[in-house]
Amino acid sequence: MLNGNLLISGEATMTIVIVCVTVFAVASILYGLFRKFSQMGWLPWQLPIIFALSFLTELVPAMENGYLRYAICVGIFLAGTALVFGTGAVIRYFMHAKMRPALLIWRFFDRLLGVVTALLGYAVILLSVGGLALSFLSNVLPDLLGSLPLPDLPIVDWVLAHALDFFVVTIFACSIQAGYRIGMGRAILYGIMFVLTAGSFFAAAYLTGFVSPFRKAAGVIARGFPNLTPSVASLIGFSITTLILFIIFFAVSCLIGFLLNKLLRRIRYVHLLGIVDGILFSLVFFALMCALAAGVQYLAYYIAHCDLSALGELGNALPLDTVREWALRVEAFMAGAPFARLLYETNPLILLLPV
């Protein structure tokens, strides 16, 4: 039906969703078939196991020291994740060592398991993102969720109650895996290259603006544009001189980065050093994600429970009742799943606030 706007019926929307899901499912099947199980990442299998292990944190008893309880829960999760990833690495190592040359039956199951793994990964993505969205709606926009045709089944209620936990587990586990693959040395190298690149730009601009020979060179270039106003010509001369200097400095930075990368590869070539390098940055990356999660929870708690007048004019300008109502809904969402609620109740940033 068209009334000045293009309206899509519920049936058409469902058809579009089904077609998109089917297309991505077929693409996942083809990817798994050609990629093969032995060459794929096993995260789709590992995430449900890590999610199940996260329930062990509920066994941690209540303590007067909330910081200690937070550290124990995070440590249990980190140890369980390391155990799952480490076991997967050992299995993959022996699989590659023992399956050469591969028998026909193994090549068949290798592709079959690849298809299953790809479909499982697709299902994990749908469950993580879709479940999180539905869980968010159930707490923040319950009226909108009530209009959706969800089946009234216990499994649906269970998924909604644990969707946030699964999402948090996915983010934390992926941060640990990504940190291990990047490694501390490579992260430091990226930081050095960023500093060198930014330093090259600022050094080029400084030399052009304050060092006499380069300032004169910029003036010579500016005089090559007599038809322009002096200010525009000066800007062009300054920009061209800065660009030339930046290219020179950046070339030197790239050479330094290349040499450092060669050195890093030699270090990571030693297997033990490569493992230590990966573990160190996985811990750093995991700590950063924990800090980010704690910061988001702290923000919701502060808006919901603290005196916003301390924000000055901004706090006075906000519709406090409406803001608090939405913040309380977001807080209920963040504390609605067992693992997320445990992290929320023992959040070190929230514990620092005066009672």
Question: Does residue 245 lie in a domain region?
Answer: yes
Is 280 found in the same domain as 177?
Answer: yes
Is 297 found in the same domain as 253?
Answer: no
Q: Which token pair is 123?
A: 């299902």
> At 287, which amino acid appears?
A
Say how far apart CA 27 and CA 121 lie, in whole Å: 12
Kindly tell me if the per-residue pLDDT of 355 is higher than 60. no
Other Cβ atoms closer than 10 A to 138: 21
Is 296 found in the same domain as 166?
Answer: yes
Is 225 found in the same domain as 158?
Answer: no
Question: Does residue 303 lie in a domain region?
Answer: yes
Where a domain ends, among 267, 290, 315?
A: 267
Is 104 found in the same domain as 209?
Answer: no
Is 50 found in the same domain as 78?
Answer: yes
> At 68, which amino acid appears?
L
Is 201 found in the same domain as 52?
Answer: no
Where a domain ends, among 214, 244, 267?
A: 267
Boundaries of domain holding 103: 10-182+270-351
Higher pLDDT, 210 or 307: 210
Say how far apart CA 51 and CA 138 lie, in whole Å: 22
Question: Does residue 4 lie in a domain region?
Answer: no
Kindly tell me if the per-residue pLDDT of 6 is higher than 80. no
pLDDT in tens, 285-337: 999 999 999 998 888 888 887 766 665 555 555 666 777 888 888 888 888 88
Question: Does residue 3 lie in a domain region?
Answer: no
pLDDT in tens, 217-275: 888 888 888 888 888 888 898 899 999 999 999 999 999 999 998 888 887 777 788 88
Question: Does residue 1 lie in a domain region?
Answer: no
Question: Does residue 198 lie in a domain region?
Answer: yes
Specify the range with the lowest mean pLDDT, choosing from 42-46, 93-97, 176-180, 342-346: 93-97
> At 286, which amino acid appears?
F
Is 145 found in the same domain as 14?
Answer: yes
Instruction: Note whether 103 and 18 are within 8 A (CB).
Output: no
Say how far apart CA 142 and CA 119 lie, in whole Å: 31
Is 229 found in the same domain as 204?
Answer: yes
Domain count, the chain: 2
Kindly tell me if the per-residue pLDDT of 103 is higher than 70. no
Question: If pLDDT is split at 50, 70 and 90, which confidence band does 145 have?
Answer: low
Is 139 found in the same domain as 63?
Answer: yes
Residue 329 has what pLDDT? 85
Is 201 found in the same domain as 178?
Answer: no
Question: Does residue 170 lie in a domain region?
Answer: yes
Question: Does residue 2 lie in a domain region?
Answer: no
Is 281 found in the same domain as 263?
Answer: no
Where a domain ends, among 267, 292, 316?
A: 267
